[in-house]
Amino acid sequence: MGLAASQARLLTITARKSDCEYQSMAYSHQKIALSRDMSIVSAEYQDALTQTKLVYDFYGTGDKSTQLSYGLLMQPSKLNDYMPSPITDQAGRVVLDAKLAAAAAAAGIPQEGLGTTPSSDVRNKFIQGLVDNGVITETVGQGIMNIQYNPEAGLGSIDTIDFVTRTVTYDEFVNEYLCNIEFDFGDLLDDTGGSNLRLKNYANDTTVEDPGSSGAVLTLSQILNGDYAIMGLTWDNKNLGDYGKGGVVDKVGSSSYWDVLFETLASYVDTSNSYVAAALEYAQRETLKKVECLGTGANGEEFDVSNAAHQWTSSHSKDGDINYEINNRGDDYVGFIYCHNKKGNSGKYNHGYALNLTNITKAYFTYFAQYMQGLATTEYEINNEESNCNFVDDDFSFEIIEGADTSGDSVLMASFYDMLFNQIATKGWVQNDQVTDNEYLQTMLQNGSMYISTIGDDNYYYQGNYATNSYIKEITDEEGIAIAEAKYNREKDKINAKENIIDMKMKNLDTEISALTTEYDTVKSVISKNIEKTFKRYDA
């Protein structure tokens, strides 16, 4: 090898060796970074081993699965016995989420509070704000506003103002209290959902088919004192009788009419009485059986057209003839009637359907009266034919809550929101949109940024640490620890994998550096000998 070539090779070896040494140093730095990452992951895992979570155990059963949440404390339910436990800040103000804050603002309550309880008008504005912001339904809100406001709730009292009750006959109830309860049947007359329905008034032989017609809006009094039916054709489910549930049954059964009917009676009676509540449940269940044609099957209650109040096979085939038949037969039955078109299975002809609204609504009140009298001794009776029924009459009387229009647990709901409203009005409020996040709420409670106000034996609210609330427990977060352990193992495996790759690359570099060092020494020796040889030649 010539001197010049040897020197060029030496420079190439030197450059490559320097590059390998630089890469090896970079890999060493990467390993140091991975060690730091592993230290961080290990520290996080060690911290997770001591983490806890707050759970809510109202019934004292040792339940560890119900994580503490804003809703559990600030929304009425059986889990808090319809008694709020307001979240408060360090200044004692009630912490409200966006919806509750909007209701407080709508009522005109300043954030610093009023220092006292305001008028019932302000309270009702707050309840209306809850309705407008979707916290409670319109029905519940109206029920609460029809209950007298208690300005002492949570301020020395937990009682709701007593109702004035009245015993009324069935006719008095229908004509005095149901005359203002309206329902728009437009959702049933709308030509969608597997039906082409119309509203029939047998009393004057008129028919309403247009959803926007004024004749589609009736009061419950009009229905009970009249003779109305909903009827039509099963135009997009032509095999109702043979193969299962059809569009009209689903559509009528899911109508909001039943909700209005059931909630109206429930709003006037004392639903805290278990017997009355059972009577309501019985009446609702038995009514829907006839509306939806339910029977007991292998999987519980299932649709069975054989349970219809009346069914027959028509000798006709055209829609006009089917309509004529159901129109003539729809007046005398309790529960829906079904006309099977003999040519319907061809897919070219429709079947017929009708439900007498007056009879089925009378049946609902009759079922209620039956249960209240005692099912074994009642004088009232419901059969498929109206002529064989003994509907409830003016001999039946029951107790109602005078002037109230509440539903279900509205008395308890009113008590809950009166207590919460009084705390907001007297203590003030602050909006915090993060408070509904469970982890955020727990952190704020644990670090003392927020507190929980709990009602004492004297029926006043007192602010305290979460640990002073007997329903809140702090337990080891086993689920969180398991998640942290899984994360630790996952991150550790990733770091180890990266280290193994770096170790392999560094080993390869060490081998290459060793080979380059040997070659470097050899080439350098060759160059030295060439130089020595050259000088000897010229010395001679």
Q: Would the pLDDT of 1 be above 70?
A: no
Residue 392: which of 217, 206, 205, 168 has the closest Cα?
A: 168
CA distance 514 to 17: 9
451 within 8 A of 457, measured Cβ to Cβ: no
425 backbone φψ class: left, alpha, beta (φ>0; ψ -120 to 50): alpha
CB atoms inside a 10 Å sphere around CB 456 = 10
The pLDDT assigned to 163 comes to: 57
Question: Do the beta carbons of residue 429 and residue 421 sit within 8 Å?
Answer: no
Question: Is pLDDT of 404 > 50?
Answer: no
pLDDT-derived band at 109, boundaries 50, 70, 90: very high
Q: Cα(139)–Cα(388) distance, rounded to whole angstroms? A: 36
Read off the tokens for 352: 């017929």
- Nearest Cα neighbor of 522 from 20, 12, 10, 21 is 10
| Rounded mean pLDDT, 187-202 | 77
Which CB contacts under 8 angstroms, 24+ apart, belong to 276-280? 276/372, 278/371, 279/368, 279/371, 279/372, 280/368
Looking at the chain, the whole-number percentage of residues with pLDDT higher than 70 is: 86
- Beta bridge pairs of residue 452: 87, 464
Mean pLDDT of the 312-317 span: 77
| pLDDT one-digit tens code per residue, 76-89 | 888 888 889 999 99
b/e 28-56 (16+ beta carbons within 10 angstroms → b): eebeeebeeebeebeeebeebeeeebbbb
The pLDDT value recorded for residue 447 is 87
The token pair that represents 1 in the structure block = 């090898």
Given the DSSP bridges, would you call strands 300-303 and 217-219 parallel, antiparallel or unpaired?
Answer: unpaired
Query: CB atoms < 10 A from the CB of 537, how many?
Result: 8
Predicted local distance difference test score (pLDDT) of residue 370:
96
* pLDDT at 220 > cutoff 50: yes
Query: Which residues, at least 6 apart from 22, have a Cβ–Cβ distance to it below 8 Å?
Result: none
| End-to-end Cα spacing for the chain | 23
Over pLDDT 90: what percentage of the chain? 33
| Confidence class for position 517, pLDDT limits 50, 70, 90 | confident
Q: Is the pLDDT of residue 363 over 90?
A: yes
C-alpha neighbours within 13 Å on the C-beta side of residue 350: 24
d(CA 8, CA 2): 10
Asked whether the CA dihedral 231, 234, 236, 241 is positive or negative, the reply is positive
Q: Mean pLDDT score of the chain, rounded to an integer?
A: 83
| 17 contact partners, CB below 8 Å, separation of at least 6 | 513, 516, 517, 520
Residue 82's pLDDT is 86
- Select from 224, 125, 249, 133 the least CA-distant residue to 172: 224
Q: Which of 122, 124, 115, 119 is nearest to 93 (CA)?
A: 115
The yes-or-no verdict on residue 243 having pLDDT over 50 is: no
73, 438, 439, 445, 477 from 69: Cα distances, Å? 7, 5, 9, 11, 15
DSSP-derived secondary structure letter, 348: S
Cα→Cα distances 336→124, 345, 418, Å: 42, 21, 44
Q: How far is residue 212's CA from residue 210's CA, in Å, rounded to a whole number? A: 5
> Would you state the pLDDT for residue 244?
44
Is 242 a residue whose pLDDT tops 60?
Answer: no
pLDDT band at 432; cut points 50, 70, 90: very high
Task: Judge whether residue 293 has pLDDT over 50.
Answer: yes
In this model, does residue 428 exceed pLDDT 50?
A: yes
Residue 285 has pLDDT above 70, yes or no: yes
pLDDT in tens, 482-513: 777 788 788 888 888 888 888 888 888 788 88
- Cβ-count burial of 511 within 10 angstroms (0-12 exposed, 13-18 middle, 19+ buried)? exposed
Tell me the three-class secondary structure of 111-159, residue by residue. CCCCCCCCCHHHHHHHHHHHHHCCCCCHHHHHHHHCCCCCCCECECECC
CB 27 within 8 Å of CB 506: yes
pLDDT digits (tens, 9 = 90+) for 371-392: 999 999 999 999 999 999 999 9
Give pLDDT, residue 172.
94
How high is the pLDDT of residue 167? 86
Please write down the HEC assignment for all residues of 16-71.
HHHHHHHHHHHHHHHHHHHHHHHHHHHHHHHHHCCCEEEEECCCCCCCCCCECCHH
Most confident of 109-113, 160-164, 341-345: 109-113
Burial class (CB in 10 A: 0-12, 13-18, 19+), 323: buried
pLDDT of residue 44: 77
User: What's the DSSP call for residue 161?
Assistant: P
The mean per-residue pLDDT over the stretch 109-138 comes to: 91
Q: Residue 7 half-sphere exposure, CB side, CA atoms within 13 Å?
A: 6
Pick the more confident residue, 132 or 305. Answer: 132
pLDDT value for 240: 53
CA distance 197 to 200: 10
| Mean pLDDT, residues 178-189 taken together | 88
Band of residue 297 on the pLDDT scale cut at 50, 70, 90: low
